[in-house]
Structure 1
Amino acid sequence: MPNVAVVAGGAGGMVLAAAHVVGRDSAVVISDVDPDRLRAAERELSEAGIVCTATVCDITDRGSVAALVTELVRLCNLGPWARRPQLAYVLSKNFVIWHSKAMAADFGAKGARVLSVSPGSFDTAMGQLEKNVAAGALAQLGAL
């Protein structure tokens, strides 16, 4: 799967609706604690032409989340060589950017401003190596 979106709590409501939108451009992995609702949501997304995989996951349980990550690694064909130690860092930074955009949309209409400060690159030999990826890619997203 080239582009994969993980949708936690995707068995219904607004989150399932979001999976429909995200599924226009990406394969979707939905997770939820309710296996029956999860299967129904997977069926609904598949019938809508969305490549979908459903995995039961309780995000409050560390072991359950680890099982979800293992499933994602399998689905995305990521062998041990492809796993990078900075994966958690990259995921957390992307979440902060996403969350900041969501908060900016919510509060911007009320005149408030949301600022997200993410580490960037320095203009060094190493920084030039990261110009189009890693911290350099984060810089492309700009300030909110």
Structure 2
Amino acid sequence: MRDICVITGGGSGMGLAAARLMGQNYYIIICGRNVMKLESAVEALRQQGIEAEAFPCDVSDYKSVEKLASYAKAKGRVAAVIHAAGMSPHMGEAKTIVEVNALGTIYMNNAFYKVMEEGSCIIDVASMSAYLTPKIVMPVRNYKYSIDNPSYFIKKIMKRVNIFPKKVQKGVAYGISKHFVIWFAKQDAARFGRKGVRVISISPGNFETPMGELEKEEADTYTKYSALKRFGHVEEIAGLFAFCSSNEAGYLTGVDILCDGGLVASGINPLLRKK
């Protein structure tokens, strides 16, 4: 049985970079909604000698995610899952952002819980925005509904988002959804742990990706406050994904790892544009 690594959002950016690195030791299945992008990425991976294939999947649709999990299981041992698919405030409306980022994480964890075995690892990708959005915004007490009633959970989250002015709702939805990803990965560690499977979240800062390019003008206004004063390179986050999913990190679970070049550590609140 060959080891399988499933990567959502694997058609570009940090997901594709992870596929290049993980492909040295795993059979790669990259997933996303843009079939043409996926096929192009698979071709590039194969040219580098990496065994890979594409599987179209909408992470906000549970049936689609279940099909992905079943397909991956049929291919071999699902040893690693990197759930990097997500939407930024520049990519959709507030409700869609919450559905893709929050529901997508619930669905991925629930579907892959059924097919992952002892010694494997699932990584849910969050964002440094979870640390930068004011805590008072976060409807943490409503997160519990995600476990048994995801549709009700979304209603509660959107009720909070809709309190805010229309012009900031996308940003609020993004911050809440990524904060939830961190919470969900932590609470899910016990469930997966009973099977000997690890769950962690990783919160990237600003990286040189297509998504990062959409946010570059805004991000540039505060990247100067970070310790490294630059955007991250996708190879750097891919290396973190690879280590965290490896046996060398076999005791690492139930935590979030912030990889932001030292921006949050600076104390800057980019949302308020002040030191």
Q: Does the pair score TM above 0.5?
A: yes
1:89-104 alignment to 2 at 5 Å? 94-95=121-122, 98=123
1:1-144 alignment to 2 at 5 Å? 2-76=2-76, 88=113, 94-95=121-122, 98=123, 119=190, 134=196, 141=251
1:73 Cα shift? 2.4
Amino acid paired to 1:88 = Y
Larger relative CO (CA 8 A, sep 6+): 1 or 2? 2
Amino acid paired to 1:12 = S
Q: 1:90 to 1:75 in 2, by over 3 A?
A: closer
Aligned residues: CA RMSD: 3.6
1:53-90 CA deviation, whole Å, 9 max, x = no partner? 11000111111111112211222289xxxxxxxx6178
Structure 2: which 5+ residue stretches go unaligned?
Answer: 79-111, 132-185, 198-246, 256-275
- What is the number of equivalent residue pairs in this alignment? 107
Runs of 4+ in 1 over 4 A off after TM superposition: 116-119
Output the CA distance in 2 between the equivalents of 1:75 and 1:90. Answer: 11
Is the CA contact (8 Å cut-off) linking 2:69 and 2:115 kept in structure 1?
A: no
Q: 1:27 to 1:90 in 2, by over 3 A?
A: closer
1:41 Cα shift? 0.5
| SS across alignment from 1:15 | helix
1:18 Cα shift? 1.0
1:2 Cα shift? 1.2
| SS across alignment from 1:11 | coil
Q: 1:48 to 1:99 in 2, by over 3 A?
A: same
Is the CA contact (8 Å cut-off) linking 2:3 and 2:77 kept in structure 1?
A: no
Q: 1:21 to 1:142 in 2, by over 3 A?
A: closer
Output the CA distance in 2 between the equivalents of 1:20 and 1:64. Answer: 25
1:10 Cα shift? 0.5
TM-score by length of 2: 0.32
TM-score by length of 1: 0.58
Output the CA distance in 2 between the equivalents of 1:99 and 1:76. Answer: 21
Output the CA distance in 2 between the equivalents of 1:67 and 1:51. Answer: 21
Is the CA contact (8 Å cut-off) linking 2:70 and 2:115 kept in structure 1?
A: no
Is the CA contact (8 Å cut-off) linking 2:29 and 2:54 kept in structure 1?
A: yes
Structure 1: which 5+ residue stretches go unaligned?
Answer: 79-86, 108-115, 120-129
% identical aligned pairs? 25
Is the CA contact (8 Å cut-off) linking 2:32 and 2:58 kept in structure 1?
A: yes
1:87-123 CA deviation, whole Å, 9 max, x = no partner? 61785x933xx569x99xxx9xxxxxxxx6855xxxx
